[in-house]
Amino acid sequence: MFQSRRALQARNYWLHEFNGSILIRVLKYLFALIVLAALSEKVAADELRIMTSRGASVEVVADYPSGGGPFAAVILAPGQGYHMAAPLLVQTAQQFTARGIAVYRFNWAFYSKDPREGRPAPDFSTEFEDMTAVLDRVRGDTRIDRAKIIAAGKSIGSVVAWKVFSENKDLKAGLFLTPLCSRWQKEMNVFTPRVENNYPGIAEEKRPISFVFGDQDVAFCSPSILYRHAAQAGGAARVAVLAGDHSFANPALKGPEGEAAMLKNVGRAADLSADFVDTALQR
C-alpha cells in the first residue's frame, strides 16, 4: 500500500503538471516511468511509519547506500505540497546514497492524511514534531553514525529543518533548499524580509550551513536579503543561486522542453547539495 502510494505521488506529479497534446502526454508518461524505475531501484530502502508525540503518522523512506555502515545520514524534509517523491528530493537522495550517505525522506503528517486540503500549523509546530520524530528514529538506527546527522529541507521544510538544527546542537550541518527568506508585496512593490523569523540566530551558528535556490524564485526569496543574512553567519555558510523558480523550473518553458530544463536544474541543485554535505562531513 505504501509503495503504491509513492508510485501514485510520482505519477501524479508528472501527469498533472502540464496540459498538452497526446505527444506531450506520452512523453510525460515516459518521464513518470523513469522516476518510478529510480524509486524501485532502491533495494536498500526501508519504508516506515513513525508515530509522533501527538499520535500522528509520518510516512518515511530511508535510503541506504551499499555496505554495512555506520553511515552519515541526511534527514530531508519536504515542502508544503512538494512531497518526498518529487524530483528534487528523489534526485538529492540519489546523490547522497551514491556518495555513501543514508537519507531519510518523509511526508508531513498533514499531507499524508489529506494531500489536497491538508495544511501545516501556522507556526509549523506540528511539522517540527514530525521532523523531530524522524530524527529520533535516525538516532536509534544502528546503521547510522550519530555524530554525522544533517538536517535538510525544502521550502517550509527548510524553515522546520532550521528549527530542528538550531535546537539539536549535535547535528553536523544544515542544508536549506528554496528557503523562505522574503515575501513579495505586490501592492507596495517591495520585498518584505522574513529571513530573521524563519532562520533566526544565524550569527551564533558556527556549524556549516548552505542555502540553495533559484534565480526566479523572487516570490519567496530575494537574493539580496538572503546574501545579507548569510553574511552574518558565525561559521561557514554557502549560498548557491541556480536557474529556475521555487521548483527549479523555468516559467518561460513549457512541455518537454520545460521538463528537461527543470530536471537539469534539479540535478545541479542535488549535486551542489551533495558536495556541501561531503565537505561538511570532513570538518
Helix (H, G, I), strand (E, B) or coil at 203: helix
Cα–Cα distances in angstroms (integers) from residue 200 to residues 124, 131, 143, 203, 230, in the given order: 15, 18, 32, 8, 11
All domains of the chain, ordered by start, with CATH?
A: 2-281 (3.40.50.1820)
CA pair distance 159, 176, nearest whole angstrom = 8
User: Residue 153: helix, strand or coil by DSSP?
Assistant: strand
β-partners of residue 58 are 50
Q: What is the pLDDT of residues 173-197, one digit of tens each?
A: 999 999 999 887 766 667 788 999 9
Q: Specify the 3-state DSSP secondary structure of 31.
A: helix
- Quickly tell me which residue has 522546520 as its cell: 160
Render each residue's pLDDT in the chain as its tens digit; 283 residues: 455 555 555 545 444 444 444 444 444 444 544 544 444 444 478 999 999 999 999 999 999 999 988 999 999 999 999 999 999 999 999 999 999 999 999 999 999 999 999 999 999 999 999 999 999 999 999 999 999 999 999 999 999 999 999 999 999 999 999 999 988 776 666 778 899 999 999 999 999 999 999 999 988 999 999 999 999 999 999 999 999 999 999 999 999 999 999 999 999 999 999 999 999 999 8
Report the C-alpha gap between 12 and 105 in whole angstroms.
18
Q: What is d(CA 71, CA 272) in angstroms, rounded to the nearest whole number? A: 20
Q: What are the backbone angles phi and psi of residue 250, rounded to the nearest 5°?
A: -100, 110
Q: Which distant-in-sequence residues (6+ apart) come within 8 Å of 235 by Cβ?
A: 205, 206, 207, 208, 209
> What would the grid cell of residue 146 be?
550519530
Q: Nearest to residue 157, comparing CAs of 78, 60, 92?
A: 78
pTM: 0.84
Q: Say if CB 149 and CB 161 are below 8 A apart.
A: no
